[in-house]
Structure 1
Amino acid sequence: MNDLDCTPEQKLKGIVSLLRDEAYQWWLAVKEGTQPDRLTWEFFKNTFQSKYVGANYVDACRCEFLNLMQGDRFVAEYEAEFLRLSHYARGMVVSEYEKCIHFEDGLRDNLRVLITPHREHEFTVLVEKEKIAEEVKRAKRQNREMERGKNKRDLEPSSSVPRPKKKARSDGPVRVGAPVASVASTRLQPCSDCGRRHSGKCWRRIRACLRCRSLEHLIRECPQWAD
Structure 2
Amino acid sequence: MEDLDCSPEQKLKGAVSLLNKEAYQWWLTVKEGTQPKQVTWAFFKATFQGKYVGASYVDVRSKEFLNLTQGNKSVAEYKAEFLCLSRYARVMVVMDYECCVRFEDGFKDIFRVLIAPQNERVFSELVEKAKIAKETKRAERLIREKKGVRIKGWLRLLMLERGLGLGPEIMG
Q: Distance in 2 between matches of 1:66 and 1:35?
A: 33
What are the residue-to-residue correspondences of 1:29-68 with 2, within 5 Å? Answer: 30=22, 38=29, 46=47, 50-51=51-52, 53-68=53-68
Distance 1:10 1:106, change over 3 A: closer
Q: Deviations over 1:176-217 (max 9, x none)?
A: xxxxxxxxxxxxxxxxxxxxxxxxxxxxxxxxxxxxxxxxxx
What are the residue-to-residue correspondences of 1:212-227 with 2, within 5 Å? Answer: none
What are the residue-to-residue correspondences of 1:109-120 with 2, within 5 Å? Answer: 109-120=109-120
Structure with the larger helix share: 2
What are the residue-to-residue correspondences of 1:1-227 with 2, within 5 Å? Answer: 3=7, 12=16, 14-16=17-19, 27-28=20-21, 30=22, 38=29, 46=47, 50-51=51-52, 53-147=53-147
Tell me by how many angstroms 1:76 deviates. Answer: 1.0
| Greater relative contact order (Cα < 8 A, sep 6+) | 2
Tell me by how many angstroms 1:136 deviates. Answer: 1.2
**Letter of the structure 2 residue corresponding to residue 38 of structure 1:** T
Q: Distance in 2 between matches of 1:9 and 1:69?
A: 35
Q: Distance in 2 between matches of 1:90 and 1:35?
A: 26
Distance 1:146 1:55, change over 3 A: same
Give the unaligned 5+ runs of structure 1.
17-26, 149-227
Query: What is the TM-score when the length of structure 2 is the normalising length?
Result: 0.62
**Aligned residue-pair number:** 133
Contact 1:31 1:39 in 2 (8 A): no
Q: Distance in 1 between matches of 2:131 and 2:63?
A: 26
Tell me by how many angstroms 1:3 deviates. Answer: 2.6
Tell me by how many angstroms 1:93 deviates. Answer: 2.0
Contact 1:69 1:107 in 2 (8 A): yes
Give the unaligned 5+ runs of structure 2.
33-38, 149-172
Distance 1:31 1:61, change over 3 A: closer
Percent same amino acid at aligned positions? Answer: 46
**What is the DSSP-based 3-state SS (H/G/I as helix, E as strand, rest coil) of the residue aligned with 2:126?**
helix
CA RMSD of aligned residues (A): 3.4
**Letter of the structure 2 residue corresponding to residue 118 of structure 1:** Q
**Letter of the structure 1 residue corresponding to residue 18 of structure 2:** I
**What is the DSSP-based 3-state SS (H/G/I as helix, E as strand, rest coil) of the residue aligned with 1:82?**
helix
Tell me by how many angstroms 1:126 deviates. Answer: 1.0
**What is the DSSP-based 3-state SS (H/G/I as helix, E as strand, rest coil) of the residue aligned with 1:90?**
helix
Contact 1:75 1:127 in 2 (8 A): yes
